[in-house]
Amino acid sequence: MFDRLRFYLRAIVRPATLDHEMRAEMQLHLDRRVEQLVASGLTAEEARLAARREFGNVAVHQEDGRDARRTRWIESTFADVRFAFRYFKRKPLSSVTIVLVLAFGIAGYAALFGLLQSAIMRPPPGVPGDVPLVVLRGMVRQKDQPLWQPMGISYPELREMSALRTVFSAVTGWTEGNVVVDAPGALDRASARVQFVTDGYFSIVGLRPASGSGLPASVPGAAVESQLVGVISDAMWEDAFGRKEITNRTVAVNGVAVRIIGVAPPQFNGVLGGRGGDRRPMMWLPLATRPTILAASRASGAALSSVDSTLFEAVGLLKSGVSTEQATAAVRVVANNAVSQVTPPRAVGSATAKAPVLVYDADVVSLRGWTGPVKSAMGLEGDNNLAPIFATMGIVATLVLIVVCTNVAALLIVSCFTSSTSVTMRAKSCPPVRR
């Protein structure tokens, strides 16, 4: 191994020495063969010709020997670099133009895919990128259509998925609502989105409130009044309260007194970001407070105990060594059990001719790439919506590269044509040589 490595280094550093040794060895073989043929009765000239015919084309054998070193690509690269520097030295203006065109083209290509990465493949603002979160989602499609659309899951499904301890380290879910927040001393009444969350919402996502504490764990059998605490977003803290001290202050949420115990980190607007571009200030309240808060404003207070109330979204942490495919298989069993409990079953659909027959399923996908700021603003959520975005970006990037390559080729053609014309003009202007 070390001998081969030493040979490669010699072939790279001292190729001329190896060429000289190879020519000397070939000549030695020819001389020996000539001696043998002379000894057999041929003249010296006939022996040299016969030896060369037997040996074959010396130049071809030398090229084969150079190829056997497996370093020709390095020699070719150095030769190309030397040619490029000679060209740059001979035509500096043309060379600078070509370099600038290539630089702008490559920069534009990188910028397009950088935009794709930052806008779509990153988690929503405020969500740590190093936490391997996965989205647990329901899916629905018409029976005669292949395209799946994401949908919510029910609370019973969420509890069963949370109990899959062989698959998930932790799972948290939430359901949303609209509320009006009013407080003594506030700048104005604020219309806000509220997420009623299950235990561990902030800790599972990997967030620590910027001020105060997170939501406490629910206590079975505790009075709802003791759980009327909430965390507000940084945007609500600034817009409604002017960043004044608000921890442990009581505000009215739909007319219900709620004690603020914390402020979320800046830019955080929910695990999945603002859905459909909704950037209103947010609050996070324990799930147990949902009936009280929504009932106060006569908002929709659908029962959460039904498997047909697919009002929840959820994220989780996969256990080490568990793939999304394995997790999908586990949550699919839960979803199928839930479908079988619905009357009539979800997968059968309505019996009327006008209503489409729907098919339901569930899966697990990585949070990275499933949603992002641009997708949320456009109302695009789900893996199926990535295809047109990637296709559009790919077409644009390919067109940029084609334009760049065309410009570089045109510059090279013009440069070569100018050089050949200049040589021809100089040849014509030279006086004939007298013999």
pLDDT of residue 352: 46
| Cα–Cα distance for residue pair 90/422, rounded to 1 Å | 14
* Mean predicted lDDT score pLDDT of the chain: 77
Question: How much is the pLDDT for 236?
Answer: 85
Q: Which of 330, 323, 334 is nearest to 366 (CA)?
A: 323
Instruction: Supply the pLDDT for residue 383.
Output: 47
Q: Which of 112-126, 229-243, 264-278 is most confident? A: 229-243
* H/E run at residue 328: helix 324-340
pLDDT in tens, 337-371: 887 776 554 544 444 445 567 777 888 888 765 55
What was the pLDDT predicted at 281? 75
Give the integer Cα–Cα distance in Å for 304 and 136.
18
3-class state of residue 316 by DSSP: strand
State the DSSP code for 169. Answer: E
Distance CA 293, CA 255 (A): 8
SS3 state at 192: strand
Q: What is the DSSP letter of 431?
A: P
Confidence of residue 117 (pLDDT cuts 50, 70, 90): low
Taking the alpha carbons at both ends of the chain, their separation in whole angstroms is 63
Per-residue pLDDT tens over the stretch 306-319: 777 888 989 999 99
Q: Which residue reads 């402020």 in tokens? A: 263
pLDDT at 372 over 50: no
Of 112-126, 143-157, 177-191, 421-435, the least confident: 421-435
- How far is the C-alpha of 331 from the C-alpha of 168, rounded, in Å? 11
Please report the pLDDT score of residue 196 as a whole number: 92
Residue length of the chain = 435
Residue 141 pLDDT greater than 60, yes or no: yes
Token pair 């979800």 is found at 346
Q: Which residues does residue 192 pair with via DSSP β-bridges, in sequence order? A: 179
Tell me the pLDDT tens digit for each residue of 68-103.
Answer: 777 777 778 888 888 878 877 887 887 788 788 888
Q: How far apart are CA 256 and CA 181, in angstroms?
A: 9
Cite the beta strand spans of 213-345 per DSSP E: 229-232, 250-253, 256-263, 282-286, 313-318
Bridge partners for 172 per DSSP:
315
Q: Which residues pair with 149 in a beta bridge?
A: 140
